[in-house]
Homo-oligomer: A and B are copies of this chain.
Amino acid sequence: MMRTHRENNRSPGGYADAMEPAVDSARTRIVAAADELFYGRGIGKVGMDAVRDASGVSLKTIYREFPSKEDLVLAVLEHRHGLWTRGIDTAAATATDPRARLLAIYDHLAVWFAESDFRGCGFINAFGELGAAHPRIADAVRGYKSTFQRYVDDLVADAGGPASLGPQLAILAEGAQTTAAIAGTPDAAAAARAAAVVLIDAACGDQLGTS
């Protein structure tokens, strides 16, 4: 099974092949700059002028790549999903069994929460801010979250746990993110991990030792 939680290769953009490199680097710079700004200040508080200044790409080029701010937000969310996926994958890389891979999720959260610019889950923030008015953004967030849910469910199945365990572990991860963001401390990752240990061992029959 070993589902590796890959991101999609590319959004269906459709730009010419010959100029892919230059265009792609412009896209990359725009998305990277917008991601940092959106995440740090909230999407509504960041104007396209700020994205231009931070990326060094003119407004005209930004609007050629992304026909509207909403499209840029969607690209930023996809980018964040790639970061999240890679982080989970590297955290799980050294694990040898599904149980350890599940717990690696919370270890990754601990690393993330300790970053100085941590401000909660970008998907949750975007959903709370724009979900009601922008169905495409709400759908994208739903999709990313359910992808993660499937990842957890598959690991639970590999570990021989019941289907009810997956949602519980995902809820712990979600709650840790908002708790850490609001409290301003990374403690929630350790608490969620400890709870996950109890839940996993209670549900999976306790074949292995604790921790």
SS class, residues of chain A in contact with chain B:
helix
Given contacts A44-B129, A119-B132, contact A171 B183 (CB under 8 A): no
Residues of chain B with a CB closer than 8 A to A50's CB = none
Q: How far is the CB of A83 from chain B (nearest CB, A)?
A: 18
Q: Which of B123, B176, B181 is the one whose CB lies under 8 Å from A175?
A: B176
Asked if B178 and A195 sit within 8 Å, CB to CB, the answer is no
Determine whether A87 belongs to the interface, using a CB cutoff of 8 Å to chain B. no
CA distance A194 to B203 in the complex (A): 11
CA distance A13 to B115 in the complex (A): 39
Size category, A interface: 35 or more
Write the nearest CB–CB distance from A60 to chain B, whole angstroms: 27
Distance (whole angstroms) from the CB of A138 to the closest CB of chain B? 8
| Nearest chain B residue, comparing its CB with the CB of A120 | B128
A29: interface (CB < 8 Å)? no
CB proximity of A97 to chain B, nearest CB, Å: 21
Tell which of B42, B123, B130, B192 touches A171, judged by Cβ atoms closer than 8 Å.
Answer: B192
Pairwise interchain contact B42-A130, C-beta atoms closer than 8 A: yes
Stretch at the interface among A17-25, A51-59, A74-82, A141-149: A141-149
Going nearest first, the 5 A-B pairs with the smallest beta carbon separation are A175-B175, A125-B128, A171-B175, A174-B175, A168-B195
What are 7 pairs between A and B in contact, CB < 8 Å? A42-B128, A42-B129, A42-B130, A42-B131, A124-B178, A171-B192, A171-B195
